[in-house]
Amino acid sequence: MIRGAIIGLGKMGLSHTAIIGANPKVKLAAVCDTSSLVLSAFKKFSQIKTYSDYSKMLDEEPLDFVVIATPTKFHYPIVKSALERGIHTFCEKPFSLTVKEGEELVALVNQKGLVNQVGYHNHFIGTFRELRRLIQTGILGELTHFTGEAYGPVVTREKGGTWRSKPEEGGGCLYDYASHVLNLIQEIIGRPVKSSGILLKSIYSKGVDDAVYALLTLNDGTSGVLSVNWSDETYRKMSTSITVMGKKGKLICDATELKIYLKEAAPHEGLDKGWTTKYITDLAIPVDFYLRGEEYSAQLDYFVDSIINRNKAEYNTFEQGLYTDKVIEMLIDNSKNNHHG
């Protein structure tokens, strides 16, 4: 059994705690948060040790890994402390607030040779996995265009809130919602290297963006559109989709289905000419414990198994998370240039 701890007990942190708590390969040694309300619930109802100071916890507890789900501005110091102590680290997305800090952490983790993962959980949804595989087979021929979208009802009224309404702390739709889409585009289609026509729009929020629209060009020259809005209450929950067009067809993918249109049949894939739909019921990654979606368990199973089996991870490395941060920084820089030019 390996020993782990969770730092940061907000929505994602509690979810990670429950999933790790249910994993028989792991001894959940401790949790850490600054909220006395949350910690006293753990003291009262669970056997898990609690800390309000992460340095103290890292010093006192012998740990194989930590899961960090604090507000983004704390990622850098906490990840650094964990890595320096030789602890495998899972960090929530977005990875870092500045590229400089992120680069330092990537260099450190590579030097230490530790397992590292960022919480871009969409890569553990069966439909997006299948989309990635199909594109890698070249089934669409030369790519001509893509659209990456996410919509949801996070901020639908005018009122101030938590750190998510502070841009300097990693708040806003670009960091929170668009980062997921940028990361999917980057790992499934290609790495964005250029952006233009970026619009960062505040709708209800003051100080941060509620919607992000931009044109992106990828490293292979493919161009496409990013369209993300977290103030759209016509969606019951966050809904993310990727559409990719090529000379031989089109793929439309979300968390529930992958729609495939091919101009000619692809018998080796068992795909007809015209439309085929693949459903999540056939593509979901099986898990032993389910909370809110297979992907949340599957990503932590992958992290734990990477530690136990000493595998080199393919999905959601710090380096991949850092690249998404670089694209975010590029979009912010471009939007500032728009304002002043």
Partner 1 sequence: MDKVLFGDNQFFAVNHASDEKSRAQAIRFKDDRAIIQVLDQAIDLGINTFMCTTHDRIANVCDHLRANPAKYADFLIYPCMPYAHKYANAVTELGIAGTIKQYVPGNVFSTFAKGGFAFLNKDFIKLMELLIDAEMKMFKGIQTPVIFIQNVLVDMILGLKMFEVFKEYDAYIRKKYQAEPGYITMNMPALLDALNSVGIENPIICSSINKIGFRMSGGIEIYEKYLNEKEFRPIAMQVLAAGALRPKEAIEYLGNFPKIESVLFGASSQSHIKETKDLIEKYLCPIAVAD
Residues that bind partner 1 (CB under 8 A): 10-11, 14-15, 17-22, 35-38, 40-42, 44-48, 153-155, 161-162, 164, 234, 236-237, 239, 241, 254-257, 279-282, 284, 286-292
The amino acid at residue 323 is: Y
- Supply the minimum distance, in Å, between the C-beta of residue 179 and partner 1: 14
**Is the peptide bond prior to 94 cis by the omega test (within 30 degrees of 0)?**
yes
Entry field: residues in the chain: 341
C-alpha dihedral (30, 34, 37, 42), degrees to nearest 10: 0
Q: Which is nearer to partner 1, 11 or 133 (CB)?
A: 11
Q: Which is nearer to partner 1, 74 or 323 (CB)?
A: 74
Q: Which is nearer to partner 1, 41 or 313 (CB)?
A: 41
Alpha helix segments (H runs only) across the chain: 11-21, 36-45, 54-60, 75-84, 99-112, 126-136, 173, 179-188, 280-283, 294-308, 318-340
- Supply the minimum distance, in Å, between the C-beta of residue 204 and partner 1: 10
- Supply the minimum distance, in Å, between the C-beta of residue 269 and partner 1: 20
Q: Which is nearer to partner 1, 26 or 332 (CB)?
A: 26
- Supply the minimum distance, in Å, between the C-beta of residue 282 and partner 1: 7
- Supply the minimum distance, in Å, between the C-beta of residue 20 and partner 1: 8
Q: Which is nearer to partner 1, 98 or 162 (CB)?
A: 162
- Cβ contacts of 61 within 8 Å, gap of 6 or more: 3, 5, 29, 30, 49
Mapped to the 3 state alphabet, what secondary structure does 1-67 carry? Answer: CEEEEEECCCHHHHHHHHHHHCCCCEEEEEEECCCHHHHHHHHHHCCCEEECCHHHHHHHCCCCEEE
**Exposure string for 223-249, b = 16+ CB within 10 A, e = fewer:** ebebbbbbbbeeeeebbbbbbbbbebb
Q: Which is nearer to partner 1, 212 or 218 (CB)?
A: 212
- Supply the minimum distance, in Å, between the C-beta of residue 11 and partner 1: 5
